[in-house]
Structure 1
Amino acid sequence: MNSVLRKLPIGIQTFEDIRRDGYLYVDKTAFVWKIANTGKPYFLSRPRRFGKSLLLSTFEAYFGGKKELFEGLAIEQMETEWKRYPVLHLDLNAKKYETPGDLIAILNQHLEKWESLYGDEKQDRSPEERLSYVINRASEQAGCGVVVLVDEYDKPLLQAFGNMALMEEYRQTLKAFYGVLKSSDRYLRFVFLTGVTKFAQVSVFSDLNQLNDISMKPQYATICGITEQELTETFAPELQELAEMNRLTPEETIQKMKRLYDGYHFCEFSKGVFNPFSVLNVFDGYKFSNYWFQTGTPTFLVELLKKSEYDLRTLIDGVEASVSSFTEYRVDADNPIPLIYQSGYLTIKDYDEEFGIYLLAFPNDEVRYGFINFLIPFYTSIVNSDQSFYIGKFIQELRTGDYDSFLTRLQAFFADFPYELNDKTERHYQVVFYLVFKLMGQFTDAEVRSARGRADAVVKTPQYIYVFEFKLNGTAEEALQQIDDKGYLIPYQADERKLIKIGVEFDAAKRNISRWLP
């Protein structure tokens, strides 16, 4: 087997480097030309590591008139002038923002670079005055409008999340700084801001209400990310080698890629896209893994979930929401869904046209099981390193019919619970059961229900079908009786596998499973 020796742009976010050094590039230049030639001030929200920085770098090369970098790409047939403009590229990605001075320092760093080119007469003034002066001078010197590109405009705000005083300092600074983009409009040829979140109008965007927010516009739904067509056309040799290395057929390989990394929809009825970061990393080592999820732990989102007492079961099954409730994040709102959506852990999966209601759910298995795995230590005594061991053992025990060992092991998930959780006993334990069975679902046919009239959990293995009923304030006998009375076994009686019903009794005083009966 000949190894594929093509260069993958992992960690490379500069368009010029990708093109000059012969890295693979998924051609998005038709979007660049269309956007650059049909409007002026734009905003795009996308999750982290989704190609926003590369997109801005492509705009920088285009407005820099670097025609040679675009040979063979779609834009080559569209652009005729290749005019050069002054470009101010503000990248807020690279710094840790922990004090008010950190934001000022990075603004100074960029302003000093621009002032060395266009004039530093205002270098002792405020950041917004200096920016206004630089834009004015650059436009006068070049005899044309200036291009302003802002990468991750909200990075300081997100890093200050939870520290309201620091967040307010950053908000005031950025509001004034970005406000220049409105007051300097006559000197500007093009403006493009990217970020993860769209903070509400009362925040930094209040002076930028003229921005064209293309985050949910269907014609730009695939501007970041990789479509299935782009995957199969751009990475055909890599897909073939991935199939061979994992002993899969080409069809099975595509299906596994879709199950793990596809499924992001940024507009109702739009084509789905694959996570580009995970796709590149799969092809780098030819191993399937949770690449994107591992690069950023959603600790602050989980803390937000706990603080808001949001029912995790609703989140895991999918959340119904109106567009206004998940596209703008209000710092003071007791609603974690906008930030979870904008961070890429939820995406649009369905849309009810009549009522204007969206269904938000996990985009794919990488995010679904990565997120549930990450939640386990916050709701149980099991630490990260033990989770896969426990889940694997759970599956093995149920496959062999050893439900006693399964339930004994399940008790470990409830050991040493923090006492303060006791006042929310029922909800908390229901969530833990839910998480465990949802995690098992990646290896076997397991489903867990919260609706009345259905068993609490059903697990199907090659030889057995288990129907579980859990009783917090009742006995194992009552749980079994409910299975019979409600007819929970009826849907499975035509199945050839052995049916096993199990009533499980939960002792609220001990905060653990106490008895079970088959």
Structure 2
Amino acid sequence: MSSINLERLPLASTGFVNLREANKIYVDKTELIYKLTRYDSAPIFLSRPRRFGKSLLVSTFEALFSRGLEDFHGLAIEKLWKADKEKKSYKVLHLDFSEFYDLNGIELNRRICRYLVHKLSNYVDIKVSDDQGRDYGCEELLRIISEDEKFESKTIVLLIDEYDAPIVHAMNDSKLLSEITGVLGRLFAAIKSCEKIFRFVFITGITRLSNVHLLSPANNQNDISFDPQYASLVGITEKELHYYFEPFIVNASEVLGISPEETYTKLKTTYNGFQFAIEAKETVYNPWSILSFLSKPHLGFKNYWFESNGGTHSLLVNHLKQKYLETQFLEKNKKDNNVSTIELEQKSDINRIPLDILLYQTGYYTLRNIGTPDFAKLEYPNEEVESSIIQLKEVVGNFRISADTSVALNQNLIKYVDEKNLEGIRKLFNSILTDCLRPSTIVFNSETDVRDIIYSHINLIGLLKSKEQENLYGYSDLELKTPKTRLVIEFKRIKKDKLEPKAREKAKAQIKEKAYGEDPYNHTHVRASMIISSEQKKIIKVELV
């Protein structure tokens, strides 16, 4: 299986090599996609984080409406589309606003108008400017198109991807922001007033902004962002992972030298857990991360989402670099909290998005049901995101490990684990903390925060890492596994160094009582206690159990 051809697993932003492959993978979503295409005129809006397949979904709609079933013969959508006697094709306008992110208001308006003329001038007599040479506003051009007698009703499909990209780019320039929101506000208002010409309108973005008319009540839009029936519309479900990807999972397990069951478990804890509606029946995997892992499993369970800039959206980074939010974010160590559903679903001003809502919209938090419709819990969905939040703090606070520490980790950590060189591991861990943290850090008030910073920097091929590893009796703090050795570490934090002996004995007893690290596999078991000193701001003691 190690020679299986993985070249068909693409890493483009749309997620798949072509639409036929996409439909095969997302066949269980066919009913949802088809149901959406039954909406007539009223704009449908979907908000999701980056790297979750919004662009793939838009491309699927484009193919269906522009070419009918040309790309879908023999696939699940064919019977549904034919049964409804859907018109073979429509004039499809596909505007990807991520391509317009660096334009001013005049340029943005001109680009939209040029696109409309390019796509529709064969059907109706339109130009980008009037007889006096004055440029039309994009909203004026839409109205001219809608009023032309040659244009039949319900003949245009409008798809707008990443509507908020130009707004995010302009957020730190008040004049530019006013220009951009003015153009987009007039465009979305015109889409509503010209709805008779639209058969289908679908719009995606990351944020739900009050700065434009998109989400205004007058627009009668259908916002499906929190609708439980569409919660798994993008992303990969557990069923889909097992049903469609099993050969690739088996291949990955052989490449990594672990069992398929271990691979499935690690994939779930690393990349699953996203829930986009409070009443959703299942969680989903990040598709970018899953496909990236399966295409190159020899690299291990990397943080593909953050590395692809999925976790460093400019909206998020720009917000967090505002002084009052930077301090709030860098000192944030609570993993979950509750938010009212009203606040969650409210539109926000681009410059005043609440921190928790911002982290949810950009993929760092996910929803959990707490038994009441008025509130939801926000929590980290998986290990990849927990690692990403630490890396994001490093970006915002300019915390980096040095090249020397990085080289030392790569050259020595696996060797130290196999050699049971616990003192060497302690020094490596302390090097990470010394490089990353400032004198004013409050990280040493929490052993889990210290553990998480260390954990986020352990990304070595040939070394599996895990935290809160569950067994019958409890959860181990940190585990590092090579092909030969399994190292289990129990951390204990002490406020005063004089408490070190007592903490060390407590850690050793906990490891033994809860049977951390005991498994049926052929590994050498190494179990150790590590003592974190709040006084000295480092790990001061490590001992073999």
Give the structure 2 partner of residue 54 of structure 1: 56
Residue 32 of structure 1 aligns with an amino acid whose one-letter code is I
Change (3 A) 1:79 1:161: same
1:86 aligns with 2:91: yes
Match of 1:376 among 373, 394, 414: 394
Unaligned segments of structure 1, at least 5 residues: 448-456
For residue 192 of structure 1, give the secondary structure of its aligned residue in structure 2. Answer: strand
Deviations 1:253-301 (A, max 9, x none): 2222222222111112331112222222222223332222211152753
Task: Find 1:436's aligned residue among 431, 434, 450.
Answer: 450
1:420-499 aligned within 5 A: 425=440, 427=442, 430=445, 435-441=449-455, 465-470=490-495, 476-477=497-498, 494=513
Query: Is the counterpart of residue 290 in structure 1 residue 303 in structure 2?
Result: yes
Deviation of 1:143 after TM superposition, in Å, equals 4.9
- Distance in structure 1 (CA, Å) of the matches to 2:262 and 2:61: 37
Q: Given that residues 114 and 134 in structure 1 are in contact (C-alpha distance below 8 angstroms), is that contact kept between their aligned partners in structure 2?
A: no
Change (3 A) 1:82 1:365: same
Q: Say which of 34, 40, 43 aligns to 1:41.
A: 43
For 1:132 and 1:312, locate their aligned partners in 2 and report how far apart those are by CA, in whole Å.
48
Of residues 241, 256, 271, the one that matches 2:266 is: 256
Is 1:337 equivalent to 2:356 in the alignment? yes
**Distance between the aligned counterparts of 1:225 and 1:55, measured in 2?**
11
Give the superposition deviation at 1:211: 0.6
Decide whether aligned partners of structure 1 residues 386 and 72 sit closer, same or farther in structure 2, where only a CA change above 3 A counts: farther
Q: Which of the residues 339, 342, 351 maps onto 1:324?
A: 342
Q: Does 1:361 align with 2:379?
A: yes
Letter in 2 for 1:353: G
Code of the aligned partner of 2:356: I
CA contact (8 A) 1:411 1:513 kept: no
Which of 163, 171, 194 is the equivalent residue of 2:173?
163
Greater CA deviation, 264-273 or 229-238? 229-238
**Partner AA of 2:355 in structure 1:** P
1:356 offset after TM fit, Å? 2.6
Give, in whole Å, the separation in 2 of the partners of 1:459 and 1:17.
41
CA distance in 2, matches of 1:154, 1:161: 11
Q: Which amino acid aligns with 1:71?
A: H
Between 1:302-311 and 1:25-34, the stretch displaced more is 302-311
| 1:75 corresponds to | 77
How many angstroms does 1:325 deviate by?
Answer: 3.0
Shift of 1:239: 2.3
Q: Give the match's secondary structure for 1:329.
A: coil
Q: Report the equivalent of 1:154.
A: 164
Aligned counterpart for 1:217 among listed residues 227, 245, 253:
227
Query: 1:13-412 counterparts in 2 under 5 A?
Result: 13=14, 17-19=18-20, 25-27=25-27, 28-39=29-40, 40-80=42-82, 81-83=85-87, 84-97=89-102, 99-117=104-122, 118-120=124-126, 123=129, 124-137=135-148, 140-200=150-210, 204-206=214-216, 209-268=219-278, 269-287=280-298, 288=300, 289-296=302-309, 298=312, 300=314, 301-302=316-317, 304-305=319-320, 307=323, 308=325, 309-312=327-330, 314=332, 317-327=335-345, 328-333=347-352, 335-348=354-367, 350-354=368-372, 356-376=374-394, 378-379=396-397, 382-383=400-401, 385=403, 406=426, 410=430
TM-aligned CA deviation for residue 119 of structure 1: 2.1
| Contact 1:131/1:180 (<8 A) preserved | yes
CA contact (8 A) 2:433 2:454 kept: no
Q: CA deviation at 1:207?
A: 6.7
Post-superposition shift, 1:67? 2.0
1:451 paired residue number: none
Q: More deviation in 100-109 or 383-392?
A: 383-392
Give the letter for the 1:304 counterpart: H
Query: What letter matches 1:73 in structure 2?
Result: L
Distance 1:357 1:22 in 2: 35
Cα 1:430–1:333 change in 2 (3 A) is farther
User: What SS does the corresponding residue of 1:67 show, helix, strand or coil?
Assistant: coil
Structure 1 position 82, deviation (Å): 3.1
Q: Which amino acid aligns with 2:453?
A: L
Task: Give the SS at the match of 2:328.
Answer: coil
SS of residue in 2 equivalent to 1:141: coil
Higher relative contact order structure (alpha carbons within 8 Å, sequence separation ≥ 6):
2
Q: Is the 8 A contact 2:532 2:541 kept in 1?
A: yes
Q: Is the 8 A contact 1:122 1:129 kept in 2?
A: no
Aligned length: 489
Deviation at 1:86, TM superposition (A): 2.4
- Measured in 2, the distance between the counterparts of 1:162 and 1:209 equals 28
User: 1:53 aligns to what SS in structure 2?
Assistant: helix
Aligned pair in 2 of structure 1 residues 357, 394: CA closer, same or farther (>3 Å)? farther
* SS state at 1:376 partner: helix
Please tell me the root mean square deviation across aligned C-alpha atoms, in Å: 4.1
CA pair 59-500 structure 1, distance change in 2 beyond 3 A: closer
Deviation of 1:108 (Å): 3.2
The Cα of 1:326 is off from its aligned counterpart by 3.4
Larger displacement relative to structure 2 (58-67 or 303-312): 303-312
Aligned partners of 2:541 and 2:112: how far apart in 1?
A: 63
Q: Which amino acid aligns with 1:59?
A: F
Q: Specify the code of the residue in structure 2 equivalent to 1:205.
A: L
Q: What SS does the aligned partner of 1:167 have?
A: helix
2:535 aligned counterpart, secondary structure: strand
For 1:496 and 1:58, the matched residues in 2 are separated by 50
Residue aligning to 2:522: none
TM-score, normalization: structure 1?
A: 0.79
Q: Does the aligned pair in 1 maintain the 2:313–2:362 contact within 8 Å? A: no
Return closer, same or farther for 1:22/1:36 CA change in 2, 3 Å cut-off: closer
Identity, % of aligned positions: 27
Q: CA deviation at 1:405?
A: 7.8
Q: Is the 8 A contact 1:29 1:75 kept in 2?
A: yes
Contact (CA 8 Å) 1:440, 1:446: kept in 2 or not? no
Counterpart secondary structure, 1:64: helix
**Structure 2, unaligned stretches of length 5 or more?**
130-134, 457-463, 469-475, 480-485, 517-526
Q: Distance in 2 between matches of 1:428 and 1:156?
A: 36
- 1:94-133: per-residue Cα shift (whole Å, max 9, x none)? 2441544442343133123134233215633212101222
Asked if the contact 1:26/1:234 (under 8 Å) is kept, the reply is: no
Cα offset for 1:387? 6.6
Question: 1-side partners of 2:213 and 2:57: how far apart?
Answer: 25
CA-CA distance at 1:517 after TM superposition: 12
Comparing 495-504 with 461-470, which one deviates more in the overlay? 495-504
Partners of 1:164 and 1:218 lie apart in 2 by: 37
Change (3 A) 1:151 1:201: same
